[in-house]
Amino acid sequence: MNPRTILITGAETAAGAHILRMLKRQVERIYVLAEVDAEVDSHENNARVCDASTAPETQPLVLRGSLSQPRLGLDERAFEAVSAEVDTIFNCAEGTVFDRDLAKARARNVEPVRSLIEMLEKARDARLVHLSTTWVCGTKRGLFTEFDLACQQGFYNAYEQSKYEAEYLLRKSSVSERVIIVRRSLTVDMSLFVHEAGVKTFESLLASLQTMPRIAVLGDSRARIDVIPVEYLAAATVALAGTSSAMGRTVHVVAGWNKSWTLGDLVERIRGRVSNSRVYYWPGPFGAAVRLIAGLSFGRLLILPRFPAALPYLRQRCVFDDYLATHLLEPVGLKCPAPETFWNDRISAPSKQESAVAASFSP
């Protein structure tokens, strides 16, 4: 199926921006949902969108709404008009703050899904591509497959739990067979250096290895760091949207075991190119003691991660399979690149300016 009219949420994110750029060359009409500014009357803007048939089809039509409100914050007329026209929805919007405010996380990550389910119930021939995350695995260890969801796992933060709840809601809905869930791992934008909300743990690591003589990493050197280019994620998401056999499936767009690195491997590759820093790994329970030592070192010992919320992701031993992704994407010529192809240029003695944006990750 080749989409003709799409709705995209989260076009301001790195993944959403790449998807939007790809689709502008492929589809007849694009609706982009944008959050309403305090000074903007959404009712008036929605009315303009309903009457936008004379607008250039190559230019996105902006819908002013609110993800956390019923009907995406659109008035009933605008919601009905878009539902009658759209054939593919890309849900790229999300809240990525790693805290324990579950109410706020649900407002950003679960409530929009309720509205999109309602839209699919009205648009009976439409499909939804929902961008999720492999971190719905939560505290699970070992292999987490594309067929797994509820594994009695706990969650490190409200972000993970709300993304899990969004998936659960979609899979229990009456429109599940028209929903494609794309779980992605960490993403890095190597062309635009786009910053997304989230913890820049590895960006901090790269910059710090250039200047600090001693670094204490509160993590496991054997933890798997599964990273993919956001360009690959966008291309895979668009390809899956047009693949009938992906309907009703959950697909892992990840590097997988063969193309992921351990934290120790990543540190050694970076360190060998940009610095002679000494790196020490400490298990999480020793964090308080190590931080005390660092405080007495007069700046000679750096603690990573700097943000406590990132601690679980330097100890995570979960591995993600990509069985369905390989089966669905390789026939159309899409393969996840080896990490060397998108890491080597970035870890070759970056300049001071580049080090600030050297590796932008999103969970």
Pick from 18-32, 224-238, 299-313: least confident = 299-313
Asked if residue 46 is part of any domain, the answer here is: yes
* Residue 10 within any structural domain of the chain: yes
Q: What's the predicted TM-score (pTM) here? A: 0.84
Residue whose structure tokens are 């690149």? 337
Beta bridge partner(s), residue 302: 215
Q: Establish if 194 belongs to a structural domain.
A: no
Instruction: Compute the distance between CA of residue 190 and CA of residue 72 in angstroms, rounded to an integer.
Output: 32
State the CATH number of the domain containing residue 64.
3.40.50.720
Is the residue at 11 inside a domain?
yes
One domain, residues 36 and 87: yes
Q: For residue 270, which phi and psi values (nearest 5 degrees)?
A: -70, -45
Note the pLDDT tens digit of each residue in 280-317. Answer: 788 767 777 887 887 777 777 877 777 777 778 888 77
Residues 28 and 125 in one domain: yes
Q: Is the same domain home to 213 and 151? A: no
What is the pLDDT, as a whole number, of residue 354? 29
pLDDT at 149: 97
Angstrom distances, CA of residue 102 to CA of 56, 99, 148: 41, 8, 23
| Residues 141-167 pLDDT 10s | 999 999 999 999 999 999 999 999 999
- 118 lies in which domain range? 5-188+227-253
Q: 49 and 172, same structural domain? A: yes
Q: Is 344 exposed, middle or buried (0-12, 13-18, 19+ CB in 10 A)?
A: exposed
In a domain, 57, yes or no: yes
Domain identity same for 237 and 149: yes
CA 5, CA 126: separation in Å to the nearest integer?
10
How many angstroms separate the CA atoms of 241 and 90, rounded? 9
Q: Are residues 103 and 14 in the same domain?
A: yes
- State the Cα–Cα distance between residues 350 and 345, nearest whole angstrom: 9
Percentage of the chain exceeding pLDDT 70: 78
Are residue 108 and residue 210 in the same domain, yes or no? no
In this prediction, residue 136 has a pLDDT band, given cuts at 50, 70 and 90, of very high
Same domain, 231 and 346: no
**Does residue 363 form part of some domain?**
no
The pLDDT, as a whole number, for residue 17 is 92
User: How many C-beta atoms lie closer than 10 Å to residue 192's C-beta?
Assistant: 13
My answer on whether 149 and 207 are in the same domain is: no
Asked if residue 333 belongs to a domain, the reply is: no
For residues 99 and 216, membership in a common domain is answered with: no
| 236 and 124 share one domain | yes
Q: Are the beta carbons of 320 and 252 closer than 8 angstroms?
A: yes
Nearest alpha carbon to residue 253 among 332, 184, 324, 333: 184
Q: Answer yes or no: do 295 and 270 share one domain.
A: yes
pLDDT of residue 197: 35
Question: Quick check: 359 pLDDT over 50?
Answer: no
Domain boundary among 235, 253, 271: 253
Q: Is the pLDDT of residue 89 over 90?
A: yes
The domain tally of the chain equals 2
Tell me, yes or no, whether 282 lies in a domain: yes
Contact 226, 320 (CB under 8 A): yes
The residue type found at 74 is L
